[in-house]
Every structure is written in C-alpha cells, then in structure tokens.
Amino acid sequence: MNVVLNELKTRASFLHKKLKLSDPASLVLVAKLSRKRQWVMPAQWQHKHCLNLIAAQYGFHDWQHAHHVFSGAAIHGDDVGDFWHQDMGFTNHWFSDYFEASDYLTSHPGSFLLPYRRQYFVAECEYLEALQLQPKHPGWQQYEHNLCLSYGSEFWLSLALHRLRELN
C-alpha cells in the first residue's frame, strides 16, 4: 500500500467516525456526493461506504477506481479520474489523444501535460501554481513536464499526496 492510498483510507476512517457521531458537515458532504453518484444512503454507515465517498470526493467513481489509479495499475487509455483538474477559469488546451497532447507539449516548452479521465490537457505554469502542484519541482523537469510519463513514480505519488493535502 502506498502513501496516497493510506491517506485516503485514513480520511475514510475519519469520515466513518464523524458519520457515526452524526457530524452535520459530514452528513451534508455525503448527501451531496451520494446524490451526485446516485448512491442510496445506507441505514448504517460502514467503512466501505466511506471509502467510496472519499474516492468520489477526489474525482473517482468509487474506491476501486481510486485504488486502481493510485496503485499504479492503470494503463494508457484507462479512466484516471479528474483528480488533477480543477476548474478555475484557466484556458487549458484539451486533447482526446495522448500523442497529440504530447506533441503540443513539445512545441510549447514551459507548459505541463496532465491527465483527465480518458483525456489530456496542457496547462501553463500559473495553473500548477494555483493548484500548488509545485511547477518548479525537479520531478517536472525529469519527466519533461509530463505527469503521464511520471505515472506511478515517487514524484507522481508525492505530488498526488501534496494535492490531497492541499484539497483539505
């Protein structure tokens, strides 16, 4: 188990405890997520429900989806969720084909390629700064500003953990 999956499991455990105590903010969150995913709210919350809710909160269909992506098992063309994207009014360049996105990145040095579900987008440094994705981190240079190339690496996992912590 890696640090990102451990963090998600910890968050699910905290959510489970809060739901057992009928924490109002947690109840609002799970109602919103359940409605969005069209999940039926259970009579009694279990840890597995909270794993799914936490995964949904961070852009995945459910826990299995998040586990698949964060364990490094996803392959080219798999849905990787929308964890790396946040709509903030930036104009990013979108691609359905990885090779087109990679070519665009090559012709636009200083930009960054990130995955989004089964698509890709190229963003400028300001986007990464706004998300606190550390655009000056040496890992970006090592992987040619392409987050897809770094998939499953220590850099990718550390950036994912950093993003999780910034989201809360």
- CA distance readout (Å), 135 to 105, 147, 154, 165: 15, 11, 16, 17
pTM equals 0.93
**Confidence at residue 34, expressed as pLDDT on a 0 to 100 scale:** 93
Are 74 and 98 a contacting pair, CB within 8 Å? no
pLDDT at 1 over 70: no
* Mean of the per-residue pLDDT values of the chain: 96
Mean pLDDT, range 124-142, rounded to an integer: 96
| Tokens matching residue 50 | 């909270």
Tell me, what's the pLDDT at 117?
98
Bridge partners of 114, per DSSP, are: 121
